[in-house]
Every structure is written in C-alpha cells, then in structure tokens.
Amino acid sequence: MDIMKKVPVREQDPKVRATNFDEVCLGYNADEAKEEANRCLTCQNAQCVKACPVAIDIPGFIKEIKEGNFEEAGYVIGRSSALPAVCGRVCPQESQCEGKCIRGIKGEPVSIGKLERFVADYARQNGIKPKKPESSNGRKVAVIGSGPAGLTCAGDLAKMGYDVTIFEALHEAGGVLVYGIPEFRLPKDEVVKKEIENVKSLGVKIETDVVIGKSVTIDELMEKEGFEAVFIGSGAGLPRFMGIPGETASGVFSANEYLTRSNLMKAFRDDYDTPIKPGKKVAVVGGGNVAMDAARTALRLGADVHIVYRRSEEELPARVEEVHHTKEEGIIFDLLTNPTEILVDENGWVCGMKCIRMELGEPDESGRRSPVEIPGSEFVIDVDTVIMSLGTSPNPLISSTTDGLDINKRKCIVASDETGATSKPGVFAGGDAVTGAATVILAMGAGKTAAKGIDEYLKNK
Ligand SMILES: Cc1cc2nc3c(=O)[nH]c(=O)nc-3n(C[C@H](O)[C@H](O)[C@H](O)COP(=O)(O)OP(=O)(O)OC[C@H]3O[C@@H](n4cnc5c(N)ncnc54)[C@H](O)[C@@H]3O)c2cc1C
Ligand code: SF4
C-alpha cells in the first residue's frame, strides 16, 4: 500500500453505469475502510474539523474505525450530523475537510467522505439508530421545508426536547435530496428515506403537501397554531433562464423540472405513469453540479448529450468527481460556447441551438475570467432537447405572505450568520433560502446554527 495515496474506491464500470440508474460509487468495505483510516494522523489541532461546516470530530470517528468500533464511529458523527450517508456521498470534500487535511500536503488527503459514508452505511445496514432525547419540554417549533437545512434544524431541536413539526410543500420529504440529486449519486429509498426516518425517530413530525404561504401562513402558525418559533428552510427552487429567443419552445426544460420529473416522479422507470420525453440529442446549458446531474440523467434515458458552458474547464463550478464521472460516461463538453437562440420547428418543438464561441477576458467580480464573444463564430448544434441549468433563486411565496420579513436584492431572506434570526421576531431562516443555491453541508450548518438560536430565543422569551 502507498501511504501517500487514498485506498481506491470501487465504482460501477462507466460503460455499464451509463445505461442504468444504480449508484455509481460502491463505497469501501470494512477492510478498505480500516486501511484508509490508518492513513489518518489523528492530528491534535485537526484542520479538517475547522473546514467542516458542522465541525464533525473527524479524527475522533476515524480513530474508532481504526479500532473496528464502527457503531461508536457512527455516534461520534451523529453528535454533529443528522445526514452522514448523504454528506459522505455529495459533500464537496475537496474544498472542505479533505482540502485542509495534513496528508494532502505531500500526498492525497485522507478520504474523509468515503469513510463517513462507510460508517453511515454500516449503521443503517445494522439497524443502529440515533439516541432518542430523554425528555420533552412541550414547546412547539415549526420548520418550513424538509431539505438538509430543515431536517438538521428539526433534528437538533428535537434532541433539545422541543416538539417539532416540519411542513413540506411536496408529497415527499427531503428537498433537493429527493427531487434534485439523481438516484445514481444518492439512492432515495435506501439512503435518503432511511436518514429521514432517523430524524423522525427523534420525535420530529413531518406534514407533507402543506405549502406555507398558501395552505397556511407563518403568522397563522404562530398566532393560531401555537408555534412559538419558526425556521424557514424553503430552499432556492426557482429556476433562471437566459432570456434568448426560442426558450419557451416545447423541449426546453429547466434542470429542476427535468430532474424532478425523473427523480421524484420516477420518469426513468417503465412501471410509473409519469414518463418524460427523454430527447435523442440533448444540450445541457451550464457547468455546475446540477448541469452534470441533468446531463447524466439524459444520458441514462438514452440521449447523446452535450454540456454547453461559456467559460473554460478550469472555471467549471461542479465538483471535480462529478466532472470526472460525467466525462468517463461519454458526455461531450462544448466549452467556451454560449447559446444565442433556440431554433424551433413548425410544431413549436426545439430543432437546434444557435451558439457562439467565447474567449476568456479579464476577471469579473467573482474573480473568474469573464467570457467574451468571438465575433462571427456562430454555429448551430443539432439538438431536440435543451436543459437550462443556470442556477436558481428562492421562491418569493413565503417572503411575500409574511409581514415584517426582510429580503435582499437577490430575493434571499436576510438572517443573522450567528443565530439565523430574521427581521421578524421568533422567525429564523437558513440554507439556500438565505444564501441562494449553495451546498448540502452549508444548509445543514445553517440549520444547526438556527436550532441553537431558537433555543436561546425561547429560553429568554
Ligand atoms: C440537481 C442538484 C444537485 C446538487 N448536488 C449537490 C452536491 O453534489 N453536493 C452539495 O453539497 N450540494 C448539491 N446541491 C445543492 C444542495 O442540494 C442544496 O444546497 C441543499 O439541498 C439546500 O438545502 P435546503 O434545505 O436549504 O433547501 P432544499 O433542499 O431546496 O429544501 C427546501 C424544501 O423546502 C420546501 N419548500 C419550499 N417552499 C415551501 C413552502 N412554501 N412551504 C413548504 N415547503 C416549502 C421544498 O419543497 C423543499 O423540499 C445540488 C442541488 C441540485 C438542485
Ligand atoms: S487533517 Fe487529515 S490526517 Fe489530520 S486528523 Fe484530519 S483527516 Fe486525519
């Protein structure tokens, strides 16, 4: 074994997995996990922990793996995270814990994410549940949205003894974890639902099909239903479009719609009644994780897929692992390319996409070099489906139906970084609803912060 390198993780063969929705990464077995754990130096002043938004005791749980105490490793993680099997699979570890691991200075960092996943999978497969709170204080808190922010806030409050109800607009709990991230990266029944069951086992109630702002308002929850505090974790599910001609044609999807149809409505399964028109030649516009997910879903539904991105490979915002997997599966990247028009046939369907080549100019406010059009370089891509993956913003429904709730220019709810408190007394917020589209672990961190903020607020009320 080369101690400078990670123990390789087993994955489905790219050619095989491009034709199925089964999970790509197969994870470590117990021997592989122990071998990888032995690469950890159990640093006293562990930088990996400082880089984790929920401050998991990383050397602590890895030490338990080294000694074969997998159940105890699960409890160590459980003190900080309610969704370890999810985070082990989808967190951008390379820019967080693993990005700061001391092993990474001279070699490859410890594979913290894969070890977290191993521990969480072990706990689930062996029926190990989180420890239940000992007593309840009977005080009611409402949580809006059942994504990672809402689940984490609810779980932490339940552990403190609060009577927590999550209100979720969709018919299934989980937020982006169920409707956005595809099955081949994050299995729904086996992983997401089980971690949600764990949160429920702490006493959290989940009411689905309740749209706050329509079915009931926040003011009604607080004034009529007896909730003493509310946490808003409603995410950022409103897709953006480019505003180019042809964008309203049949065959143009937002990535959110495409993925929701596939993931939540199971359009990829023959035995479901909600099929999607998969397209034969698909262009996905954008370069983030969402674009990679949409492209890989379209591939699995049988299409030839291109990713069209206006900057270069270096600026691709998606996780390195996702870009690597996407390329391995045979998806073509049209980089430094920007759509200018979607061509539409006589029946109103997409029949091509006009694009222009770009080059990189000076850095913009994000620090990335901004793309500039190369005059006269227009060309047409032959496509029948276009999936726009240009980012999302929070839905204004809650802010427009709640008196005294401040939002910023980007329509995000304004909340304190330290407590999650908003401008409205008793109302807290966190996750994508506050930051705009971000990551699972940042949403979880915000949920944790708000749970502490709510506890402080209610103790002093
Ligand atoms: C396709 C895709 C892939 C991604 N991949 C990754 C990845 O690999 N790694 C990573 O870290 N992050 C990834 N992300 C981002 C990550 O999933 C989000 O940052 C995270 O889910 C945000 O959590 P949240 O709890 O704030 O919101 P969400 O997960 O969006 O949950 C919000 C919930 O609130 C509900 N809701 C909204 N309005 C109301 C209302 N009025 N009443 C009741 N309920 C309401 C919604 O239905 C939803 O269930 C991805 C996102 C997408 C879309
Ligand atoms: S920084 Fe790396 S080596 Fe040190 S404790 Fe964290 S995972 Fe282990």
Residue 434 clears pLDDT 80, i.e. is over it: yes
State the distance from the centre of ligand 2 to the C-alpha of 39, rounded, in angstroms.
Answer: 8
State the distance from the centre of ligand 1 to the C-alpha of 284, rounded, in angstroms.
Answer: 20
Last residue of a domain, one of 390, 424, 443: 390
Clarify whether residues 27 and 147 are in a common domain.
no
Please report how the helices 70-78 and 58-66 are oriented relative to each other, as an axis angle in degrees rounded to 10. 170
Backbone angles phi, psi at 381, to 5 degrees: -95, 135
Place of tokens 């806030």: 153
Q: How confident is the model at residue 362 (pLDDT cuts 50, 70, 90)?
A: confident
For residue 235, give the amino acid letter.
G
Backbone angles phi, psi at 115, to 5 degrees: -70, -40
Which of 61, 97, 101 is the best mutation target for the ligand 2 pocket, counting ligand atoms within 8 Å of the beta carbon and taking the most?
101
Q: Are 337 and 308 in contact (CB under 8 A)?
A: yes
Q: Which ligand is nearest to the CA of 432?
A: 1
Clarify whether residues 245 and 383 are in a common domain.
yes
Residue nearest to atom 26 of ligand 1 (CA): 431
Q: How confident is the model at residue 133 (pLDDT cuts 50, 70, 90)?
A: confident
State the distance from the centre of ligand 2 to the C-alpha of 317, rounded, in angstroms.
Answer: 26
Residue nearest to atom 1 of ligand 2 (CA): 101
Q: How far apart are CA 113 and CA 122, in angstroms?
A: 14
Clarify whether residues 232 and 248 are in a common domain.
no
Domain range enclosing 58: 10-125
Contacts (Cβ under 8 Å, ≥6 apart) of 33: 65, 70, 114, 115, 118, 119
Clarify whether residues 317 and 227 are in a common domain.
no
Res 319: pLDDT: 85
Clarify whether residues 343 and 423 are in a common domain.
no
Question: Could you tell me if residue 435 is inside a domain?
Answer: yes
Question: Could you tell me if residue 302 is inside a domain?
Answer: yes
* Range of lowest pLDDT (158-167, 196-205, 260-269, 430-439): 260-269
State the distance from the centre of ligand 2 to the C-alpha of 72, rounded, in angstroms.
Answer: 18
Res 271: pLDDT: 80
Pocket lining for ligand 2, CB < 6 angstroms:
40-43, 46-48, 58-59, 62, 101-103, 110, 112
Residue among 334, 261, 270, 272 at smallest CA distance from 298: 261
Please report, rounded to a whole number, the percentage of residues in the chain having pLDDT higher than 70. 100
Q: Which residue has the higher pLDDT, 135 or 283?
A: 283
Question: Could you tell me if residue 182 is inside a domain?
Answer: yes
Residue 309 clears pLDDT 80, i.e. is over it: yes
pLDDT digits (tens, 9 = 90+) for 67-111: 999 999 999 999 999 899 999 999 989 999 999 999 999 999 999
pLDDT digits (tens, 9 = 90+) for 276-298: 887 899 999 999 999 999 999 99
Q: Which ligand is nearest to the CA of 48?
A: 2
Q: Which atom of ligand 2 is nearest to the CA of 59?
A: 5
Clarify whether residues 304 and 329 are in a common domain.
yes
Question: Could you tell me if residue 131 is inside a domain?
Answer: no
State the CB neighbour count (10 A cutoff) for residue 366: 9
Q: Which atom of ligand 1 is nearest to the CA of 440?
A: 11
Clarify whether residues 30 and 117 are in a common domain.
yes
Clarify whether residues 353 and 404 are in a common domain.
no
Clarify whether residues 245 and 361 are in a common domain.
yes
Residue 273 clears pLDDT 80, i.e. is over it: no
Q: Which atom of ligand 1 is nearest to the CA of 432?
A: 26
Residue nearest to atom 7 of ligand 1 (CA): 90
Question: Could you tell me if residue 130 is inside a domain?
Answer: no
Last residue of a domain, one of 346, 371, 390: 390
State the distance from the centre of ligand 1 to the C-alpha of 174, rounded, in angstroms.
Answer: 8
Q: How confident is the model at residue 274 (pLDDT cuts 50, 70, 90)?
A: confident
Q: Which atom of ligand 1 is nearest to the CA of 441?
A: 11
Total count of domains within the chain = 3
Clarify whether residues 399 and 386 are in a common domain.
no
Clarify whether residues 258 and 232 are in a common domain.
no
Q: Are 294 and 270 in contact (CB under 8 A)?
A: no
Q: Are 246 and 344 in contact (CB under 8 A)?
A: yes
CATH of the domain at 272: 3.50.50.60
Pocket lining for ligand 1, CB < 6 angstroms:
90-92, 144-150, 167-170, 175-176, 180-181, 211-213, 233-235, 237, 259, 289-290, 293, 319, 395, 397-398, 431-433, 437-441, 443
Residue nearest to atom 35 of ligand 1 (CA): 145
DSSP 431-458: THHHHSS--HHHHHHHHHHHHHHHHHHH
Question: Could you tell me if residue 5 is inside a domain?
Answer: no
Distance, C-alpha 367 to centroid of its chain: 24
Clarify whether residues 223 and 245 are in a common domain.
no
pLDDT digits (tens, 9 = 90+) for 30-70: 999 999 999 999 999 999 999 999 999 999 999 999 999 99
Last residue of a domain, one of 73, 95, 125: 125
pTM of the model as a whole: 0.93
